[in-house]
Amino acid sequence: MRIGTMSRVVTVVFALAAVAVAGMSVKVDEQTQRYMIEDNGQPVLTYNFGTVPVPAGVDGKYAVARSDYVHPLYGPNGEVLTKDYSPDHPHHRGIYWAWPEVTYGGETRDLHALQGVFARPVKMLRHDGGVLETENVWKWGDTEPIVREQVLIRVRPGRVVDFEFRLTALKEPVTIARRYRDAYGGLNLRFAALQKQKIATSDGWAVITGVPPGGKEPVSVAMFQHPDNPGDWVQYPKLNWLQPTFPAKNTAFTLTPDKPLVLKYRLWVFAGAPDEKELARRWSQYQ
């Protein structure tokens, strides 16, 4: 009863916070359960609520069908900015929120690499006006639900994308951590191969810039990590990888049934190279 009540309360909070914006719409593929958010008819991103099968030619231990992630993220001229099912790391899946160390019942498994624990869809709560609100569940061994995951994705004019995640353990505590407690984990972003790629980071923001496949001009993706999220920035330039991590280095975080963990992030996609003063202004605005 308590868990059900919590779910209803959080749903109301999400709905109040996620006000629809004129010009924003959501296009649904009912067969695949893919939800594309558009800004005045132009694609911004696609959220894969349903399961995306392994494509032909991709195989190996880490080539696992998955759901609950964003791909593609689009540039201003329709460029595909993210990468899914990359042969070098088949488990990388565009923009996804997952941890390589998930500990439950004294055992550790890998949600990031899709080994022994998986995020599976439960219900699409809302999809209109540039807003997606979903409920998913982490399944231990793909059978036992251990964490309720609620996701809010909201697109604003100017290709500004807000993410909010609420994670609540369902029965027993569940601990999440980065790889080796100091590497990757959290909101993960695997980009397509960018020509002339550049990465810059500051305390509150980071940005990756380059010419995407099929593009002619540079596109930038700026990232803003909410001050309430303790973490730092991790980058692997050869993999076109840049992410805000969680939790802080050399720590772990334990999810419990009585209080959800809330993580918030913002992305801003724009043409051209970044201006540090503008990034600082937007970071201040986001805070």
pTM of the predicted structure, to 2 decimals: 0.92
Structural element, H or E, at residue 45: strand 42-48
Would the pLDDT of 14 be above 90?
no
- pLDDT of 5: 37
**Alpha-carbon gap, residue 51 to 69, rounded angstroms:** 10
Question: DSSP letters of 243-285?
Answer: EEBSS-TT--EEE-SSS-EEEEEEEEEEES---HHHHHHHHHH
Query: pLDDT digit string (tens) for 202-258?
Result: 988 999 999 999 999 999 999 999 988 888 999 999 999 999 999 999 999 999 999
Would the pLDDT of 3 be above 50?
no
List the one residue out of 47, 54, 51 whose CA is nearest residue 72. 47
Q: For the chain, what is the mean pLDDT?
A: 92
- pLDDT of 13: 42
- For 18-54, give one letter per residue: b (16+ CB within 10 A) or e: beeeeebbbeeeeeebbbbbbbeeebbbbbbbbebee
Query: pLDDT digit string (tens) for 145-172?
Result: 999 999 999 999 999 999 999 999 999 9
| Close Cβ partners of 9 (under 8 Å, ≥ 6 residues apart) | none
- The reply to whether omega before 55 is within 30° of 0 (cis) is no
Q: 27: helix, coil or strand?
A: strand
CB 202 within 8 A of CB 64: no
